[in-house]
């Protein structure tokens, strides 16, 4: 995976709620854990924009509800500091569902997406409506 060009604060911890920003059928996610986590024993695994997490669908179509899915975080409420000094923040925490091959399940993204996600996942950039 490619490194990011900005300093992202990892503010989403397990049991954080995220809205679903694509048309896959899910409406809301609850974070279970970060995929590929590493860190201190006993510490919660925090995630931020561009990270892949395992989440449970708590609202949405019955095919996905209460099932663990892979999600990429595309927006977070806490600010992201970019290398040029600009700070970007969104009004909600949002993610989109992806498959095991890191390809999106939905066909369009509702709302804006952080540029850091586009740097890491080019296929997700193809369905983005707006990149900030």
Domains of the chain, start order: 6-131 (2.40.150.20)
N residues, the chain: 132
Is 38's pLDDT higher than 80? no
- C-alpha distance from residue 125 to each of 3, 38, 44, 50, 129 (Å): 17, 27, 29, 12, 9
Q: How many helices (H) and strands (E) does the chain have?
A: 2, 10
Q: Which residue has the higher pLDDT, 95 or 1?
A: 95
Which residues lie below 8 Å from residue 77, measured CB to CB, with a gap of 6+?
11, 89, 90, 91, 92, 93
Q: What is the pLDDT of residue 17?
A: 96
pTM: 0.89
Q: Which residue has the higher pLDDT, 37 or 126?
A: 126
Measured distance CA(84)–CA(87) in Å, rounded: 9
């Amino acid at each position: 995976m490619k490194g990011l060009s900005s300093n992202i604060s990892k503010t989403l911890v397990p049991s954080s709620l995220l809205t679903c920003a694509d048309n896959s059928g899910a409406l809301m996610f609850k974070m279970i854990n970060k995929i590929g986590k590493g860190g201190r024993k006993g510490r919660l695994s925090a995630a931020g924009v561009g990270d892949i997490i395992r989440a449970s669908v708590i609202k949405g179509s019955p095919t996905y509800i209460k099932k663990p899915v892979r999600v990429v975080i595309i927006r977070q409420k806490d600010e992201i500091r970019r290398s040029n000094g600009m700070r970007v923040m969104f009004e909600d925490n949002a993610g989109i569902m992806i498959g095991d091959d890191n390809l999106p399940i939905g066909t369009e993204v509702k709302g804006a997406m952080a540029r850091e996600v586009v740097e890491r996942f080019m296929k997700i950039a193809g369905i983005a409506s707006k990149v900030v």
